[in-house]
Amino acid sequence: MRGLSGKTALVTGAGSGIGRASARRFAEEGADVVVADVIEETGRETVGLIEDAGGNARFVEVDVSDLASVERMVDIAVETYGSLDFAHNNAGILTDFVEVTELEEERWDRLIDINLKGIWACLKAELPVMVEQGHGAIVNTASEAGLVGMGGLASYSASKHGVVGLTKTVALEYATRGVRVNAIAPGPTKTNIQSGLLGGASGSSPTSLRERVGTAIKLLRTAIRTLRADFDTSAMRDVPMDRIAEPEEMAGAVAFLCSSDASYITGHTVPIDGGQAAD
């Protein structure tokens, strides 16, 4: 991929799944990588994987829903590597699978704070650095749920539609200032994100076993398109290519959108979905 080697890439949510694959791909392409995540242990694991492969990376703890924390992350990235050429704003959670009237206010707020406000906070901190240095490329992680509605995922789908709108708007605002802004819309991808849905580590509040089982049953009953199909073949049926994605298949698109091969592409959300959007 042209134009990535020797540059600095920042990836949020890089302790797992798509973010980890993206961080590793940037490092393979010769970039220095800032691995940012709210969970230190998994973030440091990603750094270890990159270093074991001969790459260069450092971990920064961040909560993307907190602007001050995000600003600190960007400051550390620039202090460490001297520039911020690429940013993959990727951290996100999926905590509920319920009808809109069952959604609790604090759960709505928490998800929107991470998935949508978190992208805004990253853009707010990253853009001045990129404008100052005269160049930059940003990729936000949206979702297929940001392009179409999905029953049971009101807050998630609203947050991801917001990411798509934010991406278009910021791309327009910065089109003449050397910064390109795009998004990816992953289809179902093999990651841990559904552990958040079941009360796991993806930033959700701890829930009782009873609540978690109840949520899981709702999920299984109403799963139209689950975000992980290891245990549920319904998502597979919705994917024309008849398989779910590997995180590395998202990372390839992120690397391309940041590369100089994509120098005239801005404001787009690219579905990476095995053909779902064509259906």
- Interface residue list for ligand NAD (CB under 6 A): 12-13, 15-19, 37-39, 42, 62-65, 90-93, 114, 141, 143, 186, 188-189, 191-193, 202-203, 227-228
Q: Rounded to an integer, what distance in angstroms lies between the CA atom of residue 200 and that of residue 11?
A: 22
> Residue 270 belongs to what H/E stretch?
strand 269-272
> Residue 212 belongs to what H/E stretch?
helix 209-222
**Long-range contacts of residues 99-106, Cβ cutoff 8 Å, at least 24 apart:** 99/151, 99/152, 99/154, 100/154, 103/154, 103/155
Q: Rounded to an integer, what distance in angstroms lies between the CA atom of residue 133 and that of residue 33?
A: 18
Q: Which is nearer to ligand NAD, 2 or 243 (CB)?
A: 243
What is the SS3 assignment for 34? strand
Which residues 6+ apart lie within 8 Å of 104 measured at CB?
none
Q: Which is nearer to ligand NAD, 62 or 127 (CB)?
A: 62
Q: Which is nearer to ligand NAD, 94 or 98 (CB)?
A: 94
For residue 41, the minimal CB distance to ligand NAD (Å) is 10
For residue 267, the minimal CB distance to ligand NAD (Å) is 19
For residue 6, the minimal CB distance to ligand NAD (Å) is 26
Provide the b/e sequence for 43-77 (b: ≥16 CB within 10 Å). Answer: bbbbbebbeeeebebbbbbbbbbbbebbbebbebb
Q: Which is nearer to ligand NAD, 56 or 192 (CB)?
A: 192
Phi/psi at 183 (5° precision):
-135, 160
Q: Which of 67, 87, 63 is nearest to 77 (CA)?
A: 87
Annotated active-site positions, please? 156
Q: Which is nearer to ligand NAD, 90 or 182 (CB)?
A: 90
For residue 273, the minimal CB distance to ligand NAD (Å) is 9
For residue 134, the minimal CB distance to ligand NAD (Å) is 28
